[in-house]
Structure 1
């Protein structure tokens, strides 16, 4: 893969997103308020409060190098969201994106060639770099203050290593979703299920109503990362059967990976994934899940060969361009229900901004990224949708789509118990290793006990 490097200047940025040219015009910032102008393509002008950056002194003409895996078209909207900061401060953002980011970042860090800022997609990667290299610098007080004010405490915890806060949360993914066809539900007279038992009953009813048709479709093939969509299933079930406290004990290895509560979570996921009467709709038998690309697994919702598909909010980008993702559209999603009626467990993923340099302009940029101003600027700079974060001051009206607003409401619901993707928090040899391969083995014939025993045996001893 090739890397792309683009400097954000003091000018309007023309972004290409979703195949359409979107002129996203971001006006010069003021001391507060929001701009009223709109571009002809729907992008909205953004103004931010410049006062918070005065404490960093005269940083006009300086540059901050950002390294990330967020490539175009998402990369273009990310860069557009930085323009108000550049207008305020005169700091140029040198944006470099690569699909080889995770492997290359460690190489660069060890070679003494780290970027100023890296957008890390895994708290586990943050922990690894901090503990193994000591090159990431603690976040400044201005960032900590923003995160304390604008985010639930759990999000700060994920950017903290050994009691030191390093990285502010950026985007957020809601993984606890079931995708469906609103038309199929309307035609069958089905209602959105309120509990896990209701969801299983709905699946069985659909099959009965449609001559034994398989309701669920799934796929975990993802190249070198094959298996990860299955880990999401198990993680969601851990939250729903064992609860958040045990979930925390699981990924920190306070309980072993083969604890009976983990077996229960696997077997609950298996009520769908291992049942030949449930899967794999339009794609084959249970074992076909292991070889079906995750990007293609849910497409059958559009032609009726699939009825239900569990996947994160970002699965919306896998449907063909122009697909109507809305409550009355071609596809939509509902919260993956639980029999726990007093809480709303939500599995999430996300990106965190970590710094390898504490120059004033770098700290100023970190402060911007952690602010409500940036969250709203990013929402406005993403007119085609597909982005959300957990900032409590993100105005839902700035989000482009109905579905993005649903994700934001789940993230900020006072009843939501948010937990980060456990495989991203586990040691790499497990979370991105034996857990992934264990899912494949489980789907292709191994028992739950065999799989969890093998994963437990792989857990690092130090």
Structure 2
């Protein structure tokens, strides 16, 4: 998943520049798009025929992900007559306001987080989705996913792709050699951390390696740590109240999560293997953060499923490979599974039958299976065949997302007001780990920035 603004998965694979690609000219995979007479159009009859129509899909997605996105429309275009222009630029999130205000909005946009969707709806730019889109979402997504695309009771936007956060990357060989089993609870994880720290006499080794660095977005990996612990320690209801601003950062339910994260991130004996002490966390990029696992300078790294793309070529990612991952464990062994994650949403800015056809197609299980089979992404679409994912971790993440009893909580900083979620929460985490402010000062500072 490519979040150019936040610098998350997109930094691993994004290309420079702006791509404006038409299906008439590019299929992304090197093979020519099927001609109308050659395509199997049985699955596409419901979208109708719209010869000569063009629909722009505006997005922050770039690079190989953009190429794959273009390819998903090959047969759709051949069967419906709609040319789909997928326009990718890292400036999309800021330029959409300029374009919409000037009356030059794209027909559709892939919006990388619900907060931006809500702002665009409030500004009157986004139009309610067609009933065919809502029907697909009712069939293929959970109510919580539908809720992220709903504003004030009106459904606007269907989910598209997703990521599962809160994975802890480790070396299966190291764990086996040291007789360590994957922890099932947070207390067990802390016991392992203490064991690893006490058994090593290396000057460079620490149990954890951590990287907050991400350009202008430096700090977001720290917010992911806190979000995981709020969900696991305080529970889904408190998590939702916190995201909505009903619980303050300084309230006990949230403060306990900061204390738990601080037991690791602020401890010189526990971090930052291969890079230096606690003070090196901010200067270490999230891309490089977990790499010392491969040379034995650290044992664990907290990062999302998309971190799979960061391992060097030749690294085997598997339960018996060079690296693998387990989810951040529960604090209560009896609690159900709960995960944090992110996702994207397709919103409509211009009315039209061809526009509705494209938005409906992108909300279907057909599109989800086409895109996931091309590799690099996952989706929470329940019609998705998990076996199509390009890796074992991708398949595991899809199964988690599709499980009926999984509680999925959207990335909190993406849902909070921008002054908090993508500003004071990020920067406050940086100041905290370098020792500029205390935990009390951190939570009070973030609370003071709430609109």
TM-score norm. by structure 2 comes to 0.92
Cα deviations by residue, 1:191-222 (Å, 9 ceiling, x for unpaired): 11111111111111222332364100001111
Equivalence for 2:167: 177
Equivalence for 1:248: 240
Structure 2 residues not aligned, in runs of 5+: 1-15
- Alignment of 1:13 onto 2:13: no
CA contact (8 A) 1:216 1:307 kept: yes
Equivalence for 2:97: 106
Distance 1:79 1:242 in 2: 42
Equivalence for 2:10: none
Equivalence for 1:375: 368
TM alignment of 1:78-93, pairs within 5 A: 78-93=69-84
1:178 deviates by 0.4
Aligned residues: 430
- Quick one: which of 370, 390, 402 aligns to 1:400? 390
Distance 2:403 2:32 in 1: 30
1:432 deviates by 0.6
- Quick one: which of 46, 51, 62 aligns to 2:45? 51
CA contact (8 A) 1:343 1:415 kept: yes
Equivalence for 2:268: 276
CA contact (8 A) 2:206 2:298 kept: yes
Equivalence for 1:144: 134
CA contact (8 A) 1:14 1:25 kept: no
Equivalence for 1:409: 399
TM alignment of 1:139-288, pairs within 5 A: 139-211=129-201, 213-288=205-280
Distance 2:32 2:227 in 1: 38
Cα deviations by residue, 1:173-197 (Å, 9 ceiling, x for unpaired): 1012001112222222221111111
Distance 2:146 2:127 in 1: 15
Q: Which moved more, 1:419-428 or 1:100-109?
A: 100-109
CA contact (8 A) 2:28 2:70 kept: no
- Quick one: which of 100, 103, 121 aligns to 2:112? 121
- Alignment of 1:337 onto 2:329: yes
CA contact (8 A) 1:14 1:24 kept: no
1:286 deviates by 1.1
1:326 deviates by 1.6
Distance 2:82 2:364 in 1: 17
1:30 deviates by 3.2
Cα deviations by residue, 1:397-438 (Å, 9 ceiling, x for unpaired): 221211110110111122311000010001111111111111
Q: State the secondary structure of the residue aligned to 2:63.
A: coil
Distance 1:173 1:183 in 2: 26
Distance 1:24 1:409 in 2: 33
1:26 deviates by 7.0
Structure 1 residues not aligned, in runs of 5+: 16-21, 33-48
Equivalence for 1:323: 315
Distance 2:255 2:128 in 1: 38
TM-score norm. by structure 1 comes to 0.90
CA contact (8 A) 1:12 1:26 kept: no
The change in CA–CA distance for 1:398 and 1:63 in structure 2 (over 3 A counts) is same
1:160 deviates by 1.1
